[in-house]
Amino acid sequence: MDPKAILAEAKALQPELLEARRDLHQHPELGFDLVYTKPFVKSRLEAMGYEVEEVGKAGLVCYAGKEGGKTVLIRGDMDALPINEETDVEFRSLTPGKMHACGHDMHTSMMLGAAKLLKKHESELKGRVKLEFQPAEETFQGSRDMIEAGLLDGVDAAMMIHVAAALPMPSGCIIVPRGGISMASCEQYHITVRGKGGHGSTPHVAIDPITAAAHIHLALQEINSREINGHDFGVFTTCHFEAGKTSNVIPETAEMWGTIRTVDPTNQMGAFIKERMEDIVSGVATALRCQAKVEFYDFCPTVVIDDEVSKLSLPIMQELLGPAAIDYDAPPANGSEDFAFVSHKVPTIAMYLTAGDYREGYTYAAHNPKTRFDDSYLFVGTAAYTYFAARYLEKCVQ
């Protein structure tokens, strides 16, 4: 397959890639609840001539190429975040409280472009490409759900792309990580502190859970600052703190939700953080006459890049993009990605597409209400998905 031709054909698709991305951006949906997005994707794939399978609660899968050789999986995720968009782009979210702030609208559009090119070049494929459109990445449930429904049956290798904004790098580069852990594991926590509600004027006859929760919040910081070796990576952050409804009522409970990130392959760091959180939460609550509990949920492991697939991927991307394909030798990212579940089952590469140069005003990274992505290089993502899949299959038969 000719890389120059693929890049040119992808570039010719740029107007329709933009149209799809911006349409999806206006219609963000959460988790498995993709009533606009899923039919949007399915109907476009069917119009290209694909037979589309529904996999799991809201996933879609289709194939290009032929059986008999290897099968390579490429993935785009489709879900958005519960964030109120604060950008001034003309195609901003039409749904208050929901926003494509992680760029999954870009991924879906790039994958639709790849579907078109792979269909066009289907007879040249030396095996089979499995195209995956995944829901519920942000809740770390979609990948697992699709795997349980058979996503990886017969799959020999897997690849995904995530867009990255607010980097000091030009847009349109593909970053290829080396073998090893490339993204942190993640586990969410929920702390409930129970006191005794009452009148704001008489705290002495109530038990104030807000004060106790505030002490717990501060005490937990000691784990980060005093108990973890500065050379080791272990992060946790409370991102959601909720208590009370009005100014003169002491509530019954205060609640906190947060996230734990580690990059330890045996997850000893995660186990340590969880054990110390439990000690501190119950100890501080007891000292302040409250009861408290911590629950842990939605675990997602580290993303593991396969060394061999990484070593194959870099030259493939260099054939396509020259110096815009970047050999990335860096410590794991703090962020997590539920393609991790795939990476623990089949050899995987998870690349990044740079999409927003910090120096050109793209100053907000993903998950910020002001995040903007530079969508002028969607075609690079489409070309990367297409060319990686085709060339990977070629290299397998060489």
**Cβ nearer to Zn ion, comparing 195 with 381:** 381
Shortest distance (Å) from residue 108 CB to Zn ion: 11
State the DSSP H helix or E strand holding residue 280, giving kind and residue range, or none if neither.
helix 268-287
CA dihedral defined by 362, 364, 367, 370, rounded to 10 degrees? -90
Shorter beta-carbon distance to Zn ion: residue 140 or 236:
140
How many residues make contact with Zn ion (CB under 5 A)?
1
Q: Closer to Zn ion by CB, 92 or 120: give it.
A: 92
Both structure tokens of 122: 């289907």
- Are 41 and 48 a contacting pair, CB within 8 Å? no
CB 200, CB 385: distance < 8 Å: no
* Min CB(163)–Zn ion separation in Å: 8
The interface region with Zn ion, picked from 36-44, 97-105, 279-287, 370-378 by CB under 5 A, is 97-105
Q: How far apart are CA 21 and CA 9, in angstroms?
A: 18
Rounded to an integer, what distance in angstroms lies between the CA atom of residue 23 and that of residue 44?
Answer: 13
Of the listed pieces 11-19, 102-110, 318-326, 375-383, which binds Zn ion according to CB under 5 A? Answer: 102-110
Residue choice 45, 52, 102, 326 for contact with Zn ion (CB under 5 A): 102
Tell me how far the alpha carbon of residue 196 is from its chain's centroid.
39
211: enclosing H helix or E strand: helix 209-222
At 160, give phi and psi (nearest 5°). -135, 160
Q: Say if CB 334 and CB 164 are below 8 A apart.
A: no
111 near 131, Cβ under 8 Å?
Answer: yes
Cα–Cα distance list, 264 to 45, 188, 269 (Å) = 40, 17, 6
Using the rule CB under 5 A, is 273 a contact of Zn ion?
A: no
Minimum distance from residue 102 beta carbon to Zn ion (Å)? 3
Site string for Zn ion, 43-82 (x = CB under 5 A): ----------------------------------------
Q: Are 28 and 124 in contact (CB under 8 A)?
A: no
**Residue whose CB is less far from Zn ion, 102 or 380:** 102
Which one of the spans 100-108, 179-187, 199-207, 244-252 is the region binding Zn ion (CB under 5 A)? 100-108
Q: Which is nearer to Zn ion, 62 or 102 (CB)?
A: 102
Sign of CA dihedral 340, 29, 112, 104: negative
Q: Which range touches Zn ion (CB under 5 A), out of 3-11, 43-51, 99-107, 256-264?
A: 99-107
Q: Which residue has the tokens 């299959």?
A: 393
Q: In whole angstroms, how close is the CB of 386 to Zn ion at the nearest point?
A: 21
For residues 102 and 384, which CB has a smaller minimum distance to Zn ion in the complex? 102
Based on CB atoms, which residue is closest to Zn ion, 102 or 167? 102
351 interacts with Zn ion by CB under 5 A: no
Task: Decide if residue 243 touches Zn ion (CB under 5 A).
Answer: no
Binding site for Zn ion (CB under 5 A): 102
